Amino acid sequence: MGILEQAGEELLRIGRIDAVDKPSVFTLFLNTAATTVTACTKGPRSGTPHTPAHTPQ
């Protein structure tokens, strides 16, 4: 059984992290309360690069 299948009927929250210095994006799967990361995936960023709201100077 896969990690996400183990969540069963529990609703999951999805979060996204865009790496500032690399062309990568991370997708986080969190429990309903957003207190535990259930799974995480990494992949290439597609399309137009996302500009973070707060870019370090």
b/e map of 6-42 (b: 16 or more CB within 10 Å)?
eeeeeeeeeeeeeeeeeeebeebbbeeeeeeeeeeee
Condensed to tens digits (0 to 9), the pLDDT of residues 5-51 reads 777 778 889 999 988 888 889 999 998 888 988 889 998 887 655 55
pLDDT of 53 over the 60 cut: no
Predicted pLDDT of residue 27: 92
Predicted pLDDT of residue 47: 62
What is the residue whose two structure tokens read 């062309």?
Answer: 23
